[in-house]
A and B are shown apart, each in its own frame.
Chain A
Amino acid sequence: MTQSNRLNGGLINRGKPLNFNFDGRTYQGYEGDTLASALMANGVRFLGRSFKYHRPRGIFTAGSEEPNALVELRSGARQEPNTRATVAELYEGLVACSQNYKGSLRYDLLALNDLFSDILSAGFYYKTFMWPAAFWEKVYEPIIRSAAGLGRLSGEDDPDEYEKGFLHCDLLVIGGGPAGLMAALTAGRAGANVILADEDCRFGGRLNVEQEDVDGKPAVEWVEQAVAELTAMDNVRLMPRSTAMGAFDHGIYGVVERVQDHLHTPVEGKPRQTLWRVYSKRAILCAGATERPIVFPDNDRPGVMLAGSMRAYANRWAATPARMVAVFTNNDDGHRTAVDLMAKGVDVTAIVDARLDAPTLTGVRLISGAHVIGTKGRHGLSSIRVRQADGREETLACGALGVSGGWNPNVHLTCHQGGRPVWNESIAAFVPGQNIPVGMSVAGAAKGLFSTEDALRSGAEEALAALEILGIAASALKLPRAVNSAYNLQPLYHVPHGKGRAWLDLQNDVTVKDVKLAHQENYRSVEHLKRYTTLGMGTDQGKTANVNALAIMAELTGKSIPETGTTIFRPPYTPVTLGTIGGRTVGKHFHPTRETPTDKWAREHNAPFDIAGDWMRARWFPQPGETHWRQSADREACNVRKNVGICDVTTLGKIDVQGADAASFLNRVYANGFAKLAVGKVRYGIMLREDGACYDDGTAARLAEEHFVITTTTANAGAVLRNMEFARQCLWPDMDVQLISTTEAWAQYAIAGPKSRELLQRIVDSEFDISNEAFPFMACGSVTLCGGLRARLFRISFSGELAYELAVPTRYGDALWRRMLELGRGLGVAPYGLEALDIMRIEKGHPTGRELDGRATALMLGMGRMVSRKKDSIGSTLDQREGLTDPNGLRLVGLKPVNQSEVITAGSQLVNETAPVQIDSEQGHVTSACISPHLGHSIGMAYLKGGDQRMGEIIRVVDPVRGTDVKVQVISTHFFDPEGGRLRA
């Protein structure tokens, strides 16, 4: 099929034709085309429907500022909605669909919306969908949800890989047009470490789309030579297809590189896109400028586009939107479009120039002092209505209209840290203000210097200035000769004549009428204007709409444009797919995992795992025939109390504490006393926050006079070490104490049960006496095992049985575990996991993170007397404040059901025996619960108001969500072996 709107020349490769599919039809384009340019060349003008009114829309621009030509690119799981056809590089087999219609693009059922435009004006949803109330959930919400958004997601998981990266440089040059190329050349030749990034697939910026010479040769050739030189420099990294999307603190920029978006199928192992964090010492923003249109009635038809973009299509992509075009402009730059299109054989019916003194052009009709006041052509422009200064009107036939209202410097990144741009009257545009990110400077059109000559010079100058700050010697480059085209802008933002709606924000369907409505309803500040009308809130951030809208609001309020100001510019500059932000941390790699020394063995035995922080911990170890978790957990718990069980407790934090002041340091960090702990002994301890709440508990073992090893809960290991380091470095820097984590370094196993000593005796080398007399409850020391392996033994118990914890260097952990299971067979040894661990500790009333919930105090836990009044420790003062010592405050108690077949559920609320189930009946809540295999019924631990004085009382455990209500008796938390005799056996 011939490409009826294809022109000659351009930067496309006719030797590489490409087939692609749009809305079910096949077309052909060439390498170097974008999807938009290829569609344009094939005469396709109508690309989608607008957001609210479902009006036909076509290509408006040639860049990433595109508001209209949004398509669903690719199909299946890789389908990406709202992709700009103007920047999608064409490849063989590309598939795309238009968006936002019901039925077909051509016959969109929702085009009816346009007839109701009066009702659907800005903010209509604040005034509707309220009556009847019942309609909201079943009628209005579903309708709104289905009407919302533009494109559709596939609903499938994103199958592509994404990556994060980190780059360092002396100078980051953002934008590879004339200014950026000169800056990179200047800095590159000086030997600086340079990164040059451009969102386009080729460097050159406007030099790729204008018919002009640089240094006596076509601009494109000059660009090629510059790029070749930069490519050869080892100290310069070129990053095409890379958008600097945000300016973050400390000279860090976010740069999204589209690594494989231009390929049909990404190569496996390599990312589709990479989010680079660029650490720059200096940066130069050479982001160019974006053209703005002039606003007039019915200015949104397919075929109406920016004048600069129209000639970009002709010059770079050898495509024209129509064979007969017109231009509407308020400046000299718009005339270039007429010149370039005529040079390619396109008819230009007229240049409609708003300026009375507009310069004439040979070969084309000029209508000066005139405005376009209307258009015709539903699915594509067919004619424009022109009104001259004296009021005469005429209709001109044309298939496309290039509109130029002036150029806006792309100041966005200068404002990402809260700065505001300033208004430059001479070019009627915002330029970077004073308060721009540290280390950044601006060059070229981004600064308001629009001619090529100015841009080249500006880029070189800023680079020299940056190099001087960096202390890198550099010499000025010889500036290439270039065009210094005139601008002569006479501001015109919207035409005062004509009938019909005039569009400002094409993507969000915001018209001049909407701005007037906002003003009328008193939403006059620029921030209110934006949010009330949604102008600038689309995926294009209103790049082609904002300044015109501000101008109109300024007119209405009688203020100037600078007085009206802008809203805040925020990253990202263009949309970033969430996968890129996620990088490689998706799915099971969302966070790194930590494996215990018994992980291999546990997997071999099909243990299910729980994730605690990053740790994978086995919940139980199923035996053949066991189908329910309680069968396994109860068996394991019973086996511990009857024989001996072993459990991997490596995950609990271990911190090595040494130094002359180790003991007194611990004395300040723990609420209870440690200064007098004897060598060879372990003690249970609690740690308070400064505000008096108890936040962790553990043990401290004194291995030597100046050497302790303390343990923490699994979840708080990091926090405890952090707090202790803070205390060491900042609170008491004069103390001689050294800390280091040994959580990883030692595999630690609990060995618990009446036969635990016997098991130990089979592995501890015979020269060590671990009898009850030699190694009593709460003893600790170094031993060797299995013929000389260094180990540490602690006689502590979480289960309430005769128990020990044994630590060996982690590399021996797997072998030791297997050895214990082997040697302990005759003793009935079995491993036990988290569930059994929890059952047994609840039976003994031991608190865990469930009880240490951030609000618990020592008093609440029944450990009030553990907070020593004889010495100062963190939190001990505020522990005594009035609010925390109320005798009717919450206290930890045990609960057992009156009817022993009933179950207590953790998280349930407590109410008095006859109280109604409502909020003011609340007496506390259940923190932990289990069905005890040893006691034969459910038990719970709970916080109860004044609970220590209510022993024996009958109350109720209620869960209004699940509808349970169980009578329980308040008892001690020491459900099992309350005297603790089993511990000391």
Chain B
Amino acid sequence: MLNLQTITPLWGETPRVDRFNGLTITEVPNQALASLALRKGREDEGRKAAEAMLGFALPEVGRHAAEGLYAASWFAQDQWLISAETSEHELMSYQLVDAVAGLASVTEQTDGWCRFDLEGMCRGVFERLSGVNLAAMEAGSATRALLEHLSCMVICFETASHYSVLGPRSYARSLHHALVTAARSAL
């Protein structure tokens, strides 16, 4: 039986929640992540094999899709970030490796990222952190963006009111600081 404890990117036993006037920022550490990259000349085969496991089509450029256990965000050309809840699916990336059976390249990315979900009045926070054009981001879009010098991914679940911000895990404290400082200023 595995007898090692995990720790969140913000060094907690449990995820951190920050509440502001009309906005909540929640640390989300319980996502198993994998990078899925199609192989040259075998793109269709790799895609099919992955989609068979996921149960939905891999999303187009700048989009995010989710259904059942899994979610996928477009990450780069022929590349996606796949996620699932760790509580049940910590080894998701290895299942994906098996599912694609060499037709695509899979890399575990679970601890490559930290994630903060923003729910409520989000606009002011992003206005203070990033050049992302929020008005142009509809629900189901995923975009790479620079937030306070950090290369992040922003996923929109609901325009103006529900977003995920993923940043490099080692920068978690800096990213969190930037988010809460912006929230405190905006609200």
Closest chain-A Cβ to B44's Cβ sits at a distance in Å of 14
Inter-chain contact B185/A812, CB cutoff 8 Å: no
A167 to B35, CA, bound (A): 32
Most buried by A among B3, B42, B135, B149: B3
Closest chain-A Cβ to B77's Cβ sits at a distance in Å of 9
| Known A592-B171, A658-B107, A809-B110; contact A166-B37, beta-carbon cutoff 8 A | no
B113: interface (CB < 8 Å): yes
Inter-chain contact B170/A745, CB cutoff 8 Å: no
A585 to B168, CA, bound (A): 19
Inter-chain contact B130/A166, CB cutoff 8 Å: yes
Closest chain-A Cβ to B154's Cβ sits at a distance in Å of 13
Inter-chain contact A814/B7, CB cutoff 8 Å: yes
Choice from B3, B108, B173 contacting A595 with Cβ under 8 Å = B173
9-residue interface stretch from B49-57, B64-72, B175-183: B175-183
Inter-chain contact B107/A656, CB cutoff 8 Å: yes
A819: interface (CB < 8 Å): yes
A614 to B177, CA, bound (A): 15
Within 8 A of A (CB), among B69-117: 79, 91, 94, 102, 105, 107-113
Residues of A in contact with B, size category: 35 or more
Label chain B's interface by main secondary structure: mixed
Q: Which residues of B contact A788 (CB under 8 A)?
A: 1-2
A738: interface (CB < 8 Å): yes
A788 to B182, CA, bound (A): 41
Closest chain-B Cβ to A456's Cβ sits at a distance in Å of 30
Q: Which residues of A contact B136 (CB under 8 A)?
A: 168
A269: interface (CB < 8 Å): yes
Q: Which residues of B contact A596 (CB under 8 A)?
A: 170
Q: Which residues of B contact A164 (CB under 8 A)?
A: 128
Closest chain-B Cβ to A704's Cβ sits at a distance in Å of 9
Inter-chain contact B111/A811, CB cutoff 8 Å: yes
B148: interface (CB < 8 Å): yes
Q: Which residues of B contact A594 (CB under 8 A)?
A: 168, 170-171, 174
Most buried by B among A279, A589, A596, A650: A589
A787: interface (CB < 8 Å): yes
Q: Mask for A148-176, Cβ within 8 A of B = 1, else 0? A: 00000000000001011111100000000
Inter-chain contact B175/A745, CB cutoff 8 Å: no
Within 8 A of B (CB), among A875-917: none
Q: Mask for A646-661, Cβ within 8 A of B = 1, else 0? A: 0000100000101111
Inter-chain contact B1/A744, CB cutoff 8 Å: no
Inter-chain contact B11/A600, CB cutoff 8 Å: yes
Interface residues contributed by chain B, number (CB under 8 Å):
56
Q: Which residues of B contact A591 (CB under 8 A)?
A: 149
A274 to B41, CA, bound (A): 50
A789 to B4, CA, bound (A): 8
A589 to B171, CA, bound (A): 12
A786 to B4, CA, bound (A): 7
Inter-chain contact A812/B79, CB cutoff 8 Å: no
A741 to B7, CA, bound (A): 21
B184: interface (CB < 8 Å): yes
Inter-chain contact A819/B128, CB cutoff 8 Å: no
Closest chain-A Cβ to B1's Cβ sits at a distance in Å of 5
Q: Which residues of B contact A441 (CB under 8 A)?
A: none
A706 to B105, CA, bound (A): 9
Closest chain-A Cβ to B113's Cβ sits at a distance in Å of 7
Choice from A167, A269, A736, A810 contacting B41 with Cβ under 8 Å = A736
Closest chain-B Cβ to A550's Cβ sits at a distance in Å of 39
Q: Which residues of A contact B129 (CB under 8 A)?
A: 166
A747 to B177, CA, bound (A): 23
Inter-chain contact A659/B150, CB cutoff 8 Å: no
A490: interface (CB < 8 Å): no
B5, closest chain A residue (CB): A815
Within 8 A of B (CB), among A296-329: none
A615: interface (CB < 8 Å): yes
A190: interface (CB < 8 Å): no
A203: interface (CB < 8 Å): no
Closest chain-A Cβ to B4's Cβ sits at a distance in Å of 4
Within 8 A of B (CB), among A737-780: 737-738, 740-747
A585 to B102, CA, bound (A): 45
B16: interface (CB < 8 Å): no
B169: interface (CB < 8 Å): yes
Q: Which residues of A contact B8 (CB under 8 A)?
A: 811
| Known A165-B128, A591-B149, A740-B109; contact A789-B2, beta-carbon cutoff 8 A | yes
Q: Which residues of A contact B29 (CB under 8 A)?
A: 811
Closest chain-A Cβ to B133's Cβ sits at a distance in Å of 4
| Known A269-B184, A745-B112; contact A600-B7, beta-carbon cutoff 8 A | yes
Inter-chain contact A744/B111, CB cutoff 8 Å: yes
| Known A269-B185, A279-B133, A593-B174; contact A786-B3, beta-carbon cutoff 8 A | yes
Q: Mask for B152-175, Cβ within 8 A of A = 1, else 0? A: 000000000000000011111111
Closest chain-B Cβ to A259's Cβ sits at a distance in Å of 9
A270: interface (CB < 8 Å): yes
A920: interface (CB < 8 Å): no
Closest chain-B Cβ to A705's Cβ sits at a distance in Å of 9
Most buried by B among A161, A746, A809: A809
Choice from B1, B7, B42, B127 contacting A811 with Cβ under 8 Å = B7
B1, closest chain A residue (CB): A787
A193: interface (CB < 8 Å): yes
Q: Which residues of A contact B109 (CB under 8 A)?
A: 740, 742, 745
A585 to B129, CA, bound (A): 12
A277 to B109, CA, bound (A): 33
Q: List 7 A-B contacts (CB under 8 A).
A: A167-B127, A277-B131, A595-B172, A615-B170, A741-B112, A786-B4, A819-B4
Could you list which residues of chain B lie within 8 angstroms of chain A, going by C-beta atoms?
1-8, 11, 29, 35, 37, 39-42, 79, 91, 94, 102, 105, 107-113, 126-136, 148-150, 168-175, 177-178, 181-182, 184-185
| 5 nearest A-B residue pairs (beta carbon) | A592-B174, A810-B111, A736-B40, A658-B105, A745-B112
**Supplied contacts A809-B108, A811-B8, 16 more A-B pairs, CB within 8 Å:** A161-B185, A193-B135, A269-B184, A592-B148, A592-B149, A594-B174, A658-B37, A659-B39, A706-B102, A737-B40, A738-B39, A738-B79, A742-B112, A787-B3, A787-B4, A811-B6
